[in-house]
Each structure stands twice: as C-alpha cells, then as structure tokens.
Amino acid sequence: MRLARETDSILSDWRDRALRFEAEIGKVVLGQQRVIRLLTIATFARGHVLLEGDVGVGKTTLLRAMARAIGGAFERIEGTIDLMPADLVYHAHLGEDGKPRIDPGPLLRQGEALSVFFFNEINRARPQVHSLLLRLMAERSVSAFNREYRFPHVQVFADRNRVEREETFELPAAARDRFLMEVQVAMPAGEEARRRLVFDPRFHNVDALLTEVEPGVLDPQALETVARVIQLGVHASPALEAYVLALWEAVRAPHSHGVSVESVDMARFVQGGASPRGLSYLVRAARVRAWLEGRDMIVPEDLRAVFPEVMTHRIFVDPVYELRREKLVGELIAGIFARVPAP
C-alpha cells in the first residue's frame, strides 16, 4: 500500500517534470506541439526516434533543444558517404609530440554518461555504419579498444532528409525496426508560428536561442527507473488487450476487416511487418501517453495517438506501392481505426 502511494507520487511528480520539459522545448520550437509530445513519449518510453522531414523545418534545433533539456552528455555526428564505423568509435590524430594517436571517438568520448546520441542525415551513411548503430540501439553497447563499452542511458535520435535520394543508403528493415518511432516533421502549424519564425530575430540565431532552454529538466540517470515505473503503473484491461490484438490482426490482413484504401489492391498491399516487437513498442508508447494524460489505464485514444509513428515504418507494403507508401499507409491506419471497433 505504501509502495503504491509512493509510486503514485513518483508518477505525478515526474508528470509535472515531463510537462515542464515539453514547455521548455515549446519555447524554442514553434508549431510542432504534436512532434514535441511524441518525442517526450519516446523519451519516457526509452525508445529511439528517427525524424524525417523537409530541410530547414527545425529538426536539428528540436533535437538540440531536447538534448539540452534532458541533460546529460550529448554527442552528434553527421552522416556522410565515406563515414566508416571506426570514425564513430575512434578519433585518430597526431599528438602534440607528432606521433599518431588514437583516442575514443564521438561515441565513446563521454563514456557511460552519454544520454543523447544524435545522428544527422543517417541515410547518407553506409550500411556498415547502420549495423554499428543497430547494435548501439538494440544492446546499448559497442566494442572498442578490445573491450565492450556500455551506454545504459543512451537514446538515439536520427534524422533523415526525405527529399534527396541520391547517394543515400536505405536503412535496413532490422535497423528501422529498432526505432520506437519514425516521426514526420512537417511545416510548423499555424500562421502565427510561421510569421514569428521568419520575422522574429530571436529565432535567427539557433545557438543563442537554445540557451533559453533550461538545461537538465529531466535526469537521464533516473529516466530508466521512471520509465519502468510508468510501465508498471499504467495498466491495460483485457478489453484493451483484445483491442490491440484486433488492431494487429487488421494491420496484417486489412482486406478481411473490410479496410480499403483507394486504388489499392488490399489483398496484396501489406506484405508483412507489424512485428511483435512493434506491438510491444506500441503498448509501451501508449502507456507513456496515458501517463502524460494523467491516467493509470490505457485507452484506445492512447493507441491511436502513437499508432502512426510507431507502426508505419514497421508495415512492409508491396513494392508497387512503395513510392506512395506514406500516404497509403496513413490511409490504411486511418481505415483500421475507423473499422476496428473499440472496445
């Protein structure tokens, strides 16, 4: 009983911090409330996030603001076509004495304290780098200097430019599946926000702007514990479990649930995907969302709020439809939520 009360107070205490965290980021990133909310959910679900969007909509600013607000050590690296895994792990240079030296690279430099690792333009890096990243995300460890480095608190943010396709490497499905969410960053919503972003000189200097964010609102060392308490404290009823399974079933076989997308042959549209890991991520994110809304139970709204970001990149569609997948999968998910009855 006492423990339960303690859990409750921890949860409500951290909920206030989470909302403050959102507010801090909202100060410097305008018109992206939904993205901020999703990234907060990902942070408290301890999941990695892949951001996708146009150039210059504020992806990097957003991630830098988040890293600052989360606190802890922050590292970033730019993806280029000649980037090799060793470039992440090792830093080779000439010492002051003129001898070549090898020091820990960006990934290892901060040691175990690394809390946010930001990979810019991830699709420009080669598959070798992707596989290193895969291990970092899946196991939170890398091997270097003949030993294993562990990063218990690391959270990987990556971003990807979706316009350019030349000289890029598509992420392997296994790597994409490791991302909790794939978030589309669109143009800032609202005319007022756009006007301010363009004309207010405050937004012109990103470095100065970011100093307005209060650093270390969240404690990266404690996040892991809080995330576990959230997962234990928010429960799912049998009715909701049945609903999740029904959603899953509908994703795998949309035509048998009467879901249809215009000009798409539903029988062959979905080729696979929606792995059990994906579904467990979905429930994990839904729990965090329920907690942020101040509830101790998951409701269908929570699932619907995180479903597109968590599930879209896990659904593999027929190659014929691959080029239009964003739009078509979006319609598929909307159709599933319209068709599958809840509870």
Q: Is residue 214 part of the contact set for another protein (CB under 8 A)?
A: no
Please provide residue 71's backbone torsions phi and psi, each rounded to the nearest 5 degrees: 90, 180
Site for another protein contains 34 (CB under 8 A): no
Q: Which parts of 226-265 interact with another protein (CB under 8 A)?
A: 236-240
Nearest CB to another protein, comparing residues 128 and 237: 237
Q: Which of 31, 72, 300, 308 binds another protein (CB under 8 A)?
A: 300
Minimum Å gap between C-beta 228 and another protein is 22
Q: Where would I find the beta strands (DSSP E) of 162-297?
A: 179-185, 270-273
Q: Side chain identity at 304, as an amino acid letter?
A: R
Element (H, E) at 40: helix 33-44
9 binds another protein (CB under 8 A): no
Does 4 contact another protein by CB under 8 A? no
Among 186, 245, 267, 338, binds another protein (CB under 8 A): 338
Residue from 221, 304, 316, 331 in contact with another protein (CB under 8 A): 304
Pairing between β-strand 315-317 and β-strand 270-273 as defined by DSSP bridges: antiparallel
Asked if 160 and 51 touch (Cβ cutoff 8 Å), the reply is: yes
Residue 160 or 287 having the CB closest to another protein: 287
Where are the alpha helices (H) located in 237-323, listed in sequence order?
Answer: 238-252, 266-269, 276-292, 300-311
Alpha helices of 45-140 — where are they, by DSSP H? 59-70, 85-89, 127-139
Q: Is 86 in the site for another protein (CB under 8 A)?
A: no
- What backbone torsions phi and psi does residue 30 show, to the nearest 5 degrees? -95, 150
**Count of residues near another protein by CB under 8 A:** 18
Q: What's the min distance (Å) between Cβ of 338 and another protein?
A: 4
**Shortest Å, Cβ 35 to another protein:** 19
Interaction of residue 333 with another protein, rule CB under 8 A: no
Residue span binding another protein (CB under 8 A) among the ranges 88-96, 126-134, 180-188, 294-302 = 294-302
If one asks whether residue 11 binds another protein (CB under 8 A), the answer comes out as: no
Residue nearer to another protein on the CB measure, 213 or 261: 261
Do 140 and 96 form a contact (C-beta atoms < 8 A)? no
Taking contact as CB under 8 A, which single stretch among the options 86-94, 202-210, 280-288, 330-338 is the one that binds another protein?
330-338
Decide whether 70 or 298 has the Cβ nearer to another protein: 298
Q: Which is nearer to another protein, 104 or 330 (CB)?
A: 330
| Residue 342 touching another protein (CB under 8 A) | yes
Listed in sequence order, the residues at least 6 apart from 61 whose beta carbon sits closer than 8 Å to its beta carbon are 28, 29, 206, 209, 210
Which parts of this chain interact with another protein (CB under 8 A)?
A: 236-240, 297-301, 304, 334, 337-338, 340-343
